[in-house]
Amino acid sequence: MTVQGLRRIIVSVADRERALTLYRDALGLAEKYTAGDMVTLAVPGAGIELMLHERPPTPGLAGVAVSFLVSDVDATTARARKAGAQVVDAPADQPWGERQAVLTDPDGHVLCLVAPTI
């Protein structure tokens, strides 16, 4: 048996409502459903979900990072900062043809915002 696709990404968060301020309100992911200490958000265009699970997070810069495709890296970075994200690497054009910003969410998880430059 082989992997047939990617279904969901699960992010452990200390405070679900605080995390929703970033992922739902600033990044614009649509809330699909809530069950207990979890809330699932739809990632547009891919059939993938982002699940926020309220439990003790274990963040780290060397762990897995999620890259979100956005229409405007600079504007989305500004909204994310207002929602509690910290900028690790400011928006900049990359040699592989993307503009990218690297952030950490309020729990310290790395996320990238990208848009094609070519």
Query: Is residue 103 exposed (0-12), middle (13-18) or buried (19+ Cβ within 10 Å)?
Result: buried
Q: Which amino acid makes up residue 89?
A: D
Q: Give residue for tokens 């430059």.
A: 117
What is the model's pLDDT at position 57? 87
Q: What is the pLDDT of residue 91?
A: 98
Per-block mean pLDDT, blocks of 10 residues, the chain (118 long)? 79 94 96 93 90 89 85 96 97 94 94 91
Amino acid 28: pLDDT: 95
Strand segments, DSSP code E, in the chain are: 8-13, 30-35, 38-43, 48-54, 66-69, 86-93, 98-104, 110-116
